[in-house]
Amino acid sequence: MTIGTVIRALAGALLVLGVVVPVTAAQPQPAFQWREEYLTAPDGTRLHADILRPAGLADDVRTPVIMTVSPYRNQLAYLTLPRPQGGPVTDYLAIGALLEAGYTYVIVDLRGFAGSSGCPDFGGPGERGDVRTAVEWAADAPWSTGRVGLYGVSYEGWTGVMGLAERPRGLAAVATFGPVVDPYSYLYMQGVSWRFSGKPVVETGIRPADGVGLEHLLFASIPGHWNSSPEYRANAGQIPLDCYLPYLAETANHDPGTAFWRERELVEKVRGSTTPVFLGQGLVDYNTRPYRVFDFWDALGPGEHRAWFGQWGHRDCQDKCAGPDFTADMRAFFDRHVAGRDVELPGPRITVNAADGSWRGEQRWPPADAARVPVPLRTGSYTHRGLLPGPDREIWTISEPLPTPQHLAGIPTATLRLDGPPAATVAMELYDVEPSGRATVITRGIAPVSATARIRLLAQDWPIAAGHRIGIRIVDMVDDVWAGAGVNAPVTVVAAEVELPLLTTLRSADLPGGAGVDLIKWKAERVLTLGPGVVENASVPLNLPAPSPAP
């Protein structure tokens, strides 16, 4: 059996899984007129495009264009969900509202996926060039005003960031939600593999990041729909092993210093960009995690940028976030910057949903008054062994009950002096500990053991009530978050300190909304109960500065 046959069989298995797993109700299809075109990249790669126009609009009427460049929208399947009806895949795109507003919507397949020829390269120069080619083609089209906006979530949000990096002619704005901005840190945190959820079977972390490359190649190997054009089916049917095998090897490499990973880091490539950006990032998103996306946000140049940061998972906020009207904000953003309409953008520059369910506006995030407060931690030793739980794997530091509320807003960092084998790891978790001992994860991070280990934890915006405690857990590994083998060796924590970004002035809600489904689920599932003995033995005074009351 050839490797190609195995890949094709696994791709078929993905579709079978999609058949047997319950899915949410299908979204109603908006009314549109549809046609397909092929465009040719400078290297000869043929890119397939679906062009969706408002129903009844004449072909010679020029409109602004919204575009999604995607690896996931095969006419036979959206991700693993089979589509026996064929045709353009519009799932989870705000196509109805945008067609109604007078836009043309274009979906372009990345090279190597669906109806496009060529080889995927995981955000490399080929895929970035595809975005540039697609935007400039749409800007020059006879049905276009010459202004193009990019929109997407996840990989489709990543292609929006690629567009910013390439700076194509005609790119007027980018709306990107839960994007990848550095594919290395998407898969690995300081060399340690993240685990991705086992959806649609379970949501806990099961799949090591090392296998994500294979998963994407399986998507690339899904055949075309039987009613698709001959060129579409020929492109979808290819399995070019001469690029698949290096792709697998490079994406499974844990070394951030390889030429492959350095070429794909986008933060520096977008630095100084003034193209308007509407960015969204869920702070409980454990797919594209709240990590380097804030470096991307800070790297943008001056411009009318907007952001939503808050307590949702891997999604935009068209629904399930329980906040202000996201779709109206997005449409106004495109109307102003792509259509050139004289509209005011509703809402604040940055919309924030905190972990207590409140919604507020900020001009900066982390907020300007987030002071970095150093907190010394208890020391000791733990055993790096993984899998089997036990108190020998962890060292707790727990504050006394807080005399005043605190509000963590930003990216905590930690520095630890360690003595242990370099094959071991050291992880840190922050907890909100209720008087009952119920402790909810706030954020976490990991690093390899070294003489001086530095951990940059994931970003959060988390108010902590008076009377609660702050718990800091040093542990070898969080088994459903990262993948790694235990080395069965002791690690000594000689000294440790964490810096907490704490607001000096508390906040009150000034936007409508409440707790969305992902926040409710997080607080129900990402918890443990600390016994009285653990709390008493680990309690220390933290002497945190008291914040000013909310105005």
Does residue 424 surpass a pLDDT of 90?
yes
Does residue 22 surpass a pLDDT of 50?
no
Residue 177: C-alpha distances to residues 154, 197, 274, 282 (Å): 6, 19, 18, 8
pTM (two decimals)? 0.94
**What is the rounded average pLDDT of the residues 201-207?**
68
Residue from 478, 440, 474, 476 nearest 460 by CA = 440
**Mean pLDDT (the chain, rounded):** 93
Per-residue model confidence as pLDDT tens digits over 76-88: 999 889 999 999 9
Does residue 23 surpass a pLDDT of 50?
no
9: Cβ–Cβ under 8 A, 6 or more apart, which residues? none
Residue 520: C-alpha distances to residues 321, 465, 526 (Å): 10, 17, 10
pLDDT band at 20 (very low <50, low <70, confident <90, very high): very low
pLDDT at 310: 98
Does a cis peptide bond (omega within 30 degrees of 0) precede residue 200? yes
**What is the rounded average pLDDT of the residues 321-329?**
95
Distance in angstroms (rounded) separating the CA atoms of residues 233 and 325? 40
SS3 244: helix
pLDDT at 200: 53
Q: Name the DSSP letter for residue 12.
A: H
pLDDT band at 16 (very low <50, low <70, confident <90, very high): very low
pLDDT at 247: 96
Distance in angstroms (rounded) separating the CA atoms of residues 164 and 31? 31
pLDDT at 19: 36
Q: For strand 81-82 and strand 188-189, is the pairing parallel, antiparallel, or unpaired? A: unpaired
Between 6 and 418, residue with greater pLDDT: 418
* Sign (positive or negative) of CA dihedral 210, 211, 212, 213: positive
Alpha helical stretches, state H, 145-197: 155-166, 183-187
**What is the rounded average pLDDT of the residues 179-204?**
86
Does residue 308 surpass a pLDDT of 50?
yes
Q: CA angle, 71 as apex, 4 and 229 as ends, to 5°?
A: 75
Per-residue model confidence as pLDDT tens digits over 499-509: 999 999 999 99
Residue 424's CB is within 10 A of a number of other CB atoms, namely 24
C-alpha 372, offset from chain centre: 25
Per-residue model confidence as pLDDT tens digits over 49-78: 999 999 999 999 999 999 999 999 999 999
pLDDT at 100: 94
Residue from 279, 305, 235 nearest 48 by CA = 235
Distance in angstroms (rounded) separating the CA atoms of residues 475 and 408? 21
SS3 per residue for 435-460: CCCEEEEEEEEEEECCCEEEEECCCE
Per-residue model confidence as pLDDT tens digits over 219-243: 999 999 999 999 999 999 888 889 9
Does residue 162 surpass a pLDDT of 80?
yes
pLDDT band at 477 (very low <50, low <70, confident <90, very high): very high
- Tokens at 95, concatenated: 């196509």
